[in-house]
């Protein structure tokens, strides 16, 4: 028998309203019952001319994509799985900063509707009690003539219950429901997160990455902790997290005092030395 989300799931008036209207404020929503990946759908729709600000959202994904080729588990009706099509007037050197800006927006949006004080793990994770609650995956299409199209994918565990999580994720994942002990209207959460995303992207466009970075650092889950970095070449480096720099690049300092800039790869917070 399939696992179900809490019975209160039928009491989502805001979610039901936006599902019927396919709009949230002035923003168009494209709602699917099930897709392979909202990012895949959003990239295709962007190529067809979907307007900036369009949100592609699904009740479930069969192949939700995470960072480093991972799959995002998407229990039907339990979480928010959506992608935002945006075309911000940013220089190419600033596009990588979007992930940090959106992570901060996600953290603030969750806090405003729930009072859950989640923390950020570079570059794209939202953690609560050291467990992953949400993730961000940004992808771009540089072929458009009017400038780059950025697709911002967000997976957020909202009403996911402990028994809904796959066994292999139970020790590493959490949800707003688990953290707060109550059910949330996904429509209200979506609206709050989208408002914060708009705010942080506007700050980035207005050259306030310094302010974004200061706010991000204030919510850094790993600063001053030991991290194990699995580099793209398979090398393991353990060091103290120094946080992201002015370009958004993470730095860790190993036991010998060498500073390692982290471009990509897997990161795990380890026990303190």
Q: Write the pLDDT tens digit of every residue in 206-215.
A: 999 999 999 9
CATH number corresponding to 7-217: 3.30.930.10
Cβ-based neighbour number of residue 246 at 10 Å: 9
Q: What stretches in the chain show pLDDT beneath 50?
A: 1-9, 67-68
- Structure confidence at residue 70 (pLDDT): 57
pTM of the full predicted structure? 0.91
CA distance 197 to 86: 11
The values of phi and psi at residue 149, to 5°, are: -100, 130
CA distance 180 to 168: 22
Q: Write the pLDDT tens digit of every residue in 93-144.
A: 899 899 999 999 999 999 999 999 999 999 999 999 999 999 999 998 876 5
Domains 7-217 and 226-269 share a fold: no
CATH 2.30.30.100 fits 226-269, yes or no: yes
Please choose, from the candidates 215, 183, 178, 177, the residue with its C-alpha nearest in 3D space to the C-alpha of residue 196: 215
Burial class (CB in 10 A: 0-12, 13-18, 19+), 7: exposed
- Structure confidence at residue 247 (pLDDT): 93
**Exposure letters 41-74 (e unless 16+ CB within 10 A, then b):** bbbebbeeebeebbbbbbbbbeebbbbeeeebbb
Domain ranges within the chain, ordered by starting residue:
7-217, 226-269
- Structure confidence at residue 68 (pLDDT): 44
């Amino acid at each position: 028998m399939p696992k179900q989300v809490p019975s209160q799931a039928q009491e989502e008036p805001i979610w039901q309203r936006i599902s019927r209207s396919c709009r949230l404020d002035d923003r168009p929503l494209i709602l699917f019952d099930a897709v392979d990946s909202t990012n895949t759908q959003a990239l295709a729709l962007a190529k067809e001319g979907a307007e900036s600000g369009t949100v592609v959202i699904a009740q479930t994904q069969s192949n939700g994509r995470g960072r480093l080729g991972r799959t995002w588990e998407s229990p039907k009706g339990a979480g928010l799985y959506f992608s935002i099509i945006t075309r911000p007037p940013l220089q190419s050197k600033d596009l990588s900063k979007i992930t940090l800006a959106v992570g901060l927006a996600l953290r603030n949006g969750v806090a405003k509707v729930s009072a859950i004080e989640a923390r950020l793990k570079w570059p794209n994770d939202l953690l609560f009690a050291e467990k992953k609650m949400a993730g961000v995956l940004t992808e771009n299409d540089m072929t458009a003539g009017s400038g780059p199209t950025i697709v911002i994918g967000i997976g957020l565990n909202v009403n996911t219950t402990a028994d809904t999580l796959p066994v292999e994720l139970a020790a590493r994942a959490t949800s707003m429901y688990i953290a707060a002990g109550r059910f949330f209207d996904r429509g209200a959460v979506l609206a709050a997160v989208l408002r914060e995303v708009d705010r942080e992207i506007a700050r980035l466009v207005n050259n306030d990455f310094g302010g974004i970075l200061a706010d991000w650092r204030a919510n850094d889950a790993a600063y001053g902790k030991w991290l194990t970095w699995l580099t793209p070449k398979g090398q393991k480096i353990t060091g103290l997290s120094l946080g992201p720099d002015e370009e958004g690049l993470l730095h860790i300092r190993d036991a010998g005092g060498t500073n390692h800039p982290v471009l990509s790869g897997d990161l795990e917070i380890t026990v303190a030395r």
